[in-house]
Structure 1
């Protein structure tokens, strides 16, 4: 067995069964840790629209169910189903014979009353008549004038006219039918423009205003986009649904849209030019705050940001970044503020 000398300065240890000294084993030296790999992207500068999405229905701009104001028998129907008409167009005529006779009688009575009044007035001026006779003649004249105007008005109402320009629906009655004010003749709707009625949650009370534009689509008209403008916001909030009722006008010159259609729409609440956007993957939540890692001199710099609007894959940064900044979008889990990083990929701004 080899002897082991006392350990001291310059001591040598011999291996058992040999005359060769053992080679001294040095302790491993620590290696510098590798910089974590990351992917980066330059911030994007773009226009950002703040949008509010909703669904609703289309309504006619004006709508009325036409009914006769007096009873009578239909003598003529002057329109076709689903016909466009102008304001004042004659649509239906009722039999006029009886009312024409009543008007003739009223006009005859009026002529006699006017003659009697003129005679009573002349006699009074000559001193041979009385004021009472003249006053009675004047009262009769005025009564017969009212009777003549009433007969004329009743005769005028035998013609049913369109109160505004629009499109008629399907007629419900035929010539020869005796109608009363309770009967429906036809529906009339004004469909250019149309009203878009919809609701948004009450949290958007300060975000919607008269004059804002809307963009609209209809499931029944796939591939077509329509635009409109808000013209009315109900001042009363619906307490059951906690929502605002809003109406917008939508041009419909080609008649493609119809009242009652289900619509999907977007309100353009605001537009910001030159907004700073980053990929959503760049955002790191810490507690209630939001941060990004900026790339500066090959180091990750933790930066607090304030966020704004979102769109698919991107988020607006209102405060904390400038247009020339580059942010880390992958590999943040191994990062800490100020650590050196290795950029393995640069993703173009979206």
Structure 2
């Protein structure tokens, strides 16, 4: 009995030592899971779905007037009359300004007098030629000089007419370059004007999308300066060639602006719904990484991110058609890709109905360790 009593304390000491060693060398599974969870990258994901897609092309453009002009003074002189101001609506042929044409009028009178003298010479020469009192070449010379003087008269008359600046079409004066009494050189700018009724916008559409766009299609657009108000326009023409440098096609959009609520120079955001695709494989556009021809997406498998090459088709602005690389049901990363690498551990988060972030799944290993 005394020998057994002596061995009991020794066994207790050994058991205590073994327990301490095991606790030091092998941490609990829950502690290991916490370490792995700490290394996980938070991301938001979405599922690849099948559904209908309305393909849209969205772009920004600046409105331009189809008819606009910079009016110049083709003759030098002093501004005698300034008849319109910026913002004035004018009609085709309306007198806008008058330049002093005293010198041009004097030249016109002199040219007319010389022309009359040459005309008399021709008439007298015809009588003398009929009586064979002058040579035929002398009469030819007189007729030639008469033609020259007639051209000079016409030129002088044009100079006088050019002293009056008139509107070439219906429109609005957008800028006045001159002042009353200002001395102008030839070809000096006088007014800028534009017709606000007929506006245009030019879009550069990728060739893949351009083949589905044709004249007459509806275009919706907004103007930043006018808030949320929406406007309608029409595709007027699609260029027949593809730009070699950009791989795009010029699409011209016509805006009917009869009420003049819009004006040239406004910045617009245009949207063309040009194709409907049924039974398309769809994913959020925010999940797509890289440029066309080298696109990828991060797919979540077994709690890790895997970078998957994909090929996309048309997009609706928020969703994109998947042609290759992903199947319906695949889970793709839509937010947080910047922090990921191939094989990164992830912590998947989703937005709930109230807009709060709620954790829906952590690592599979973490779930297993808690069971």
Q: Which runs of 5+ in 2 are unaligned?
A: 1-49, 285-311, 322-328, 330-371
Q: In the aligned structure 1, how far is the partner of 2:188 from the partner of 2:146?
A: 37
Question: Are the equivalent residues in 1 in contact too, given 2:86–2:174 (CA < 8 A)?
Answer: yes
SS in 2 for 1:104: helix
TM-score when scaled to structure 1? 0.62
Superposition pairs of residues 305-324 of structure 1, within 5 angstroms: none
- In 1, the alpha carbon distance for the partners of 2:63 and 2:319 equals 33
Q: 2:168 aligns with which of 149, 152, 163?
A: 163
Equivalent in the alignment of 1:89: 94
Question: Distance in 2 between the 1:177 and 1:279 partners?
Answer: 66
CA-to-aligned-CA distance 1:49-85 (integer Å, 9 cap, x gap): 4322222111111222211112111111111221111
The structure-2 alpha-carbon separation of the partners of 1:278 and 1:144, relative to structure 1 and needing over 3 Å to count, comes to: closer
Task: Indicate if the aligned counterparts of 1:57 and 1:198 stay in contact, CA closer than 8 A.
Answer: no
Displacement, 1:199? Answer: 2.1
Which range is displaced more, 128-137 or 107-116? Answer: 128-137
Distance 1:141 1:167 in 2: 44
Aligned match of 1:68? 73
Pair 1:182–1:115, CA change in 2 (3 A): closer
Pair 151,311 (structure 1): closer, same or farther in 2 beyond 3 Å: closer
The number of residues matched between the two structures is 247
1:249 to 251, 254, 259: 254
* Offset, 1:309: 7.5
Give secondary structure in 2 for the equivalent of 1:81.
coil
Secondary structure of residue in 2 paired with 1:170: strand
Contact 1:71 1:179 (C-alpha < 8 Å) held by counterparts: yes
SS at match of 1:185: strand
State how far apart, in whole Å, the 2-side matches of 1:158 and 1:223 are: 47
Shift of 1:248: 0.8
Give me the whole-angstrom Cα distance separating, in 2, the residues matched to 1:153 and 1:195: 34
Distance 1:78 1:313, change over 3 A: closer
Distance in 2, matches of 1:58 and 1:254, equals 15
The match for 1:119 among 115, 124, 138 is 124
Measure the CA separation in 1 of the matches of 2:315 and 2:176: 51
Shift of 1:270: 3.5
The equivalent of 2:146 in structure 1 is: 141
Report Cα offsets for 1:228-276 as digits up to 9, x if no partner: 122233424251x44333221101111111212111111131368xx67
The answer for unaligned runs of 5 or more in structure 1 is: 1-42, 282-306, 317-328, 330-350
- With over 3 angstroms needed to count, the CA separation of the structure-2 counterparts of 1:247 and 1:231, relative to structure 1, is same
Q: Which moved more, 1:186-195 or 1:174-183?
A: 174-183
Write the distance in 1 (CA, Å) between the matches of 2:210 and 2:317: 25
Of the three residues 209, 233, 237, the one matched with 2:243 is: 237
1:346 aligns to what? Answer: none
Cα pair distance change 1:115/1:265, threshold 3 Å: same
Verify the 8 A CA contact 1:121 1:134 in the aligned structure 2: yes
Determine if contact 1:117/1:138 at 8 Å carries over to the other structure: yes
Question: Is the CA contact 1:110–1:144 (under 8 Å) kept in the aligned structure 2?
Answer: yes
Whether 1:263 and 2:271 are equivalent positions in the alignment is no
Greater shift in the superposed pair: 189-198 or 49-58:
49-58
- Pair 1:174-2:179 in alignment: yes
Match of 1:204 in 2: 209
TM-score (norm 2): 0.59
Match of 1:14 in 2: none
> Using the alignment, how far apart are the partners of 2:87 and 2:143 within structure 1?
52
Q: State whether residues 96 and 165 of structure 2, in contact with CA within 8 Å, keep that contact through their aligned partners in structure 1.
A: yes
Q: Please report the RMSD computed on the Cα atoms of aligned residues, expressed in angstroms.
A: 3.2
